[in-house]
Amino acid sequence: MKKEALEVLKNRRSIRKFQSRQISAEELDTVLEAGTYAPTAGGRQAPVIVAVQDAETVAALDAMNAKVMGNASAHPYYGAPTILLVMAPEEDAQGELDCSAIGGNLLNAAYAVGLGSCWIHRSKEMFESEEGKALLKKWGLPETMRSVCSIALGYADCPHPDAAPRKSGYIIKV
Ligand SMILES: Cc1cc2nc3c(=O)[nH]c(=O)nc-3n(C[C@H](O)[C@H](O)[C@H](O)COP(=O)(O)O)c2cc1C
């Protein structure tokens, strides 16, 4: 099911309960492709998007994020079967900005194809750890890659949340 662009931008919400069933390869590829068409500084496309679906690695990332959180029993990725990591080289001055723009595309694309998603914080610290650096090495990425955005992705296992009211003064027309 494909949704219209403005409806997607307005109605996408963070999902915090996921089915264990894995998403289809087609859904994953559609979301990832949308990420690669986000704007990047100078059009350099400096970031990389790592899509993790291997259950053991998903569990390891969940535990690593919980460790950064300081709550080893937490499940910060809410049981999502797929985790996306958007990373940029540390030396790239606009890397964080690029990754954020890509993250937005990924979240909106996920909703457009009927998936649930949630931006999950603390991925930068995850990849500063020895465990994180070992994963970068395993994935053939330089140690200088910094994860800016991580995303829990899967089929929602909860009703679609309502948006909070928008604050007054959000928009200033001059
Ligand atoms: C930079 C950033 C970090 C976030 N980190 C988390 C997080 O660690 N855990 C979480 O459940 N939601 C996280 N969120 C999701 C926000 O809580 C969510 O976007 C916000 O409450 C608004 O809800 P909505 O996405 O449904 O509109 C994060 C969002 C952003 C943009």
Q: Is the CB of 13 under 6 A from ligand 1?
A: yes
Mean pLDDT of 27-45: 98
Beta partners for residue 152, in sequence order: 83, 118
Task: Enumerate long-range contacts of 71-77, CB under 8 Å, 24 or more apart.
Answer: 76/120, 76/122, 77/120, 77/150, 77/152
Q: Is the CB of 121 under 6 A from ligand 1?
A: yes
Domain boundaries defined on the chain: 29-154
Separation of first and last alpha carbons in the chain: 39
Q: What is the pLDDT of residue 130?
A: 96
110 neighbors 28 (Cβ within 8 angstroms) = no
Phi then psi for 5, rounded to 5 degrees? -60, -50
Spell out the CATH class of 29-154: alpha beta
Q: Is the CB of 74 under 6 A from ligand 1?
A: no
- Rounded Cα distance, 108 and 55, in Å: 24
Express each pLDDT in 79-125 by its tens digit: 999 999 999 999 999 999 999 999 999 999 999 999 999 999 999 99
Q: Is the CB of 71 under 6 A from ligand 1?
A: no
Measured in angstroms, how far is the CA atom of residue 65 from the centroid of ligand 1? 15
Q: How confident is the model at residue 77 (pLDDT cuts 50, 70, 90)?
A: very high
Measured in angstroms, how far is the CA atom of residue 94 from the centroid of ligand 1? 22
Q: Is the CB of 118 under 6 A from ligand 1?
A: yes
Q: Which two tokens stand for residue 97?
A: 């900005």
Mean pLDDT of 121-132: 96
124 neighbors 146 (Cβ within 8 angstroms) = yes
Shortest-distance Cα residue to atom 29 of ligand 1 = 119
- Rounded Cα distance, 65 and 17, in Å: 17
